Structure 1
Amino acid sequence: MERLRQDDPVRIGDFVVLARLDADGSRGVPERRYLARSADGGRTVLVCLPPAGGDPARWATEAQQAVRLVQPGFWPVAQVGGSPAFPWYSSPYRPVLPLPAVLAAYGGPLPEALVRTVGGTLAEALASAHVLGVVHGGVCPAGVLLTACGPLLGCFGATRATAVAGDAPVPATVLETGCLAPELAAGGPADRAGDVYALGAVLAYAATGQTVPERQEIPVGLREIVTACRSRDPEGRPEPARVLAELLPGAAYGALTASVEPVSLPGRVVEALSRQSAEVLAAALPSPER
């Protein structure tokens, strides 16, 4: 858990803020994310606000769309509230680390086996969304949330393909993290190929600590699929189902995102998840006056 700053909210809707999820100086965070508890102490949640300087109305619209994105592999949005100027959404709390925090806890780039598990699970989630005509539009390292049972894609940025056929803006988070496909940078709409490009950036980040590494910096076993995902030609990028097959040959489609079994995580990452859980359980509700 990260300490609150003076400019952080004390309450969000019915919830009292306990701590921030993201550390100071975290880049590319798609929204302001807080660990919070209901005033009666009965519910602990992850509650999110628009990013500072973002468009609250646009963010609120995407949060409403994310409520309907209920298939496995996505971080669930359970409640949307607030006002047009101060929208928020909440999700039931579970111990979770954004991908940059995972690398920080581990002490550097992740082992290739874990990168394959994370990438394969995210590819499966995107494949299931794309079948439904849903484009995520905001895949980035900070939007990947790792739990004991594997990664989930944060829903912020999720837009229906039919809604982005025109000139819908690309979420600002991808502009800062090297996840923006060239055609989107040129003004094109968010689409499935753009999601795959961003997935390649997430794989690169997990394996090297950078979203735009040099080709030789990428582990040999991941080099071809990461390079294919990050092709400048959208037509040259693989479909998410192929990314899954390349990363985890023989994996049964649908088994990863639906799994409720713990995945194999490095001890330091497990320790960080356990420490967060213990701190949340022990946290007392702060005074409303700070």
Structure 2
Amino acid sequence: MDDLRPTDPARIGGHRLLGRLGAGGMGVVYLGRTDAGALAAIKVILPEHAGDEEFRTRFRREAEAARRVESPWAVSVTGADTEAERPWLATEFVPGPTLSDVVARRGPLPVRSVTVLGRLLARALASVHAAGLVHRDVKPGNVLLTASGPRLIDFGIARTAGATALTATGIVVGTPGFLPPEQVSGGGAAGPAGSAGDVFSLG
């Protein structure tokens, strides 16, 4: 976790911000604590996107869909404000290394561990898809490992099934090496990225 910058807010939606967990093309993710003491990962949308009314409309729809995801293997949404000057979405904070970090340090996982991990992540994706969302960035870096099992995280580029992308036309979203063919091509003849693309990325 990195320290907050002078330009970062001190609070977001009832959360006192403790530091930066990461940043991307759509926003900054902060670690925050509620007045009750609960930790949360809070994604705050960048100003250039916050000023786009079409983006806000889609973000609002997708935040509502993300609230419907119910799975012990995916992080849950704990709060959101899609009407704020800079819209934000908060999820439960899960301490633990990512799958990519563990593999980098220890090498490939045992076959039995991979089998269990794949089964639980498939259940997480089933819940995501049942809520009407497509994750679009399933990869080891978006899987946290805990003592009780994996957690699928980062719905930063998720979108409602069948909707157009939140990013500008022609921009490929996702991570090279895990993208399904239709996502690489931006849809086209293959159609928009859908739930099958998430299954492809899961492997």
Structural mapping, 1:90-109, within 5 Å: 90-103=90-103, 107-109=105-107
Contact 1:181 1:198 in 2 (8 A): yes
Contact 1:79 1:91 in 2 (8 A): yes
Question: Higher strand fraction: Structure 1 or Structure 2?
Answer: 2
Q: 2: distance between equivalents of 1:132 and 1:44?
A: 24
Match of 2:42 in 1: 47
Q: 1:133 to 1:21 in 2, by over 3 A?
A: closer
Q: Which runs of 5+ in 2 are unaligned?
A: none
Q: Offset at 1:90?
A: 1.9
Structural mapping, 1:72-151, within 5 Å: 72-81=72-81, 83-103=83-103, 107-112=105-110, 113-130=112-129, 134-151=133-150
**Residue identity opposite 1:33 in structure 2:** V
Q: 2: distance between equivalents of 1:30 and 1:121?
A: 28
Q: Name the TM-score, length of structure 1 as normaliser.
A: 0.53
**Residue identity opposite 1:49 in structure 2:** V
Q: Offset at 1:117?
A: 2.7
Contact 1:36 1:46 in 2 (8 A): yes
Match of 2:71 in 1: 71
Please provide the CA RMSD for this pair. Answer: 3.3
Q: Offset at 1:35?
A: 1.9
Greater CA deviation, 28-37 or 84-93? 28-37
Question: Higher helix fraction: Structure 1 or Structure 2?
Answer: 1
Q: Deviations over 1:90-113 (max 9, x none)?
A: 234342333344445xx1434234
Contact 2:69 2:127 in 1 (8 A): no
**Residue identity opposite 1:136 in structure 2:** H
Larger Rg: 1
**Residue identity opposite 2:142 in structure 1:** G
**Residue identity opposite 2:185 in structure 1:** A
> Is 2:26 the partner of 1:34?
no
Structural mapping, 1:1-290, within 5 Å: 2-6=1-5, 7-22=7-22, 32-38=28-34, 40=35, 42-50=37-45, 57=56, 58-81=58-81, 83-103=83-103, 107-112=105-110, 113-130=112-129, 134-154=133-153, 156=155, 157-161=157-161, 163-164=162-163, 168-169=164-165, 174-188=173-187, 189-200=192-203
Q: 1: distance between equivalents of 2:76 and 2:137?
A: 15
Q: 2: distance between equivalents of 1:150 and 1:29?
A: 29
Q: Deviations over 1:132-155 (max 9, x none)?
A: 654333323332232221112226
Q: 2: distance between equivalents of 1:81 and 1:132?
A: 19
Q: Which runs of 5+ in 1 are unaligned?
A: 201-290
Identity percentage of aligned residues:
36
Q: 1:124 to 1:82 in 2, by over 3 A?
A: closer
Contact 1:138 1:173 in 2 (8 A): no
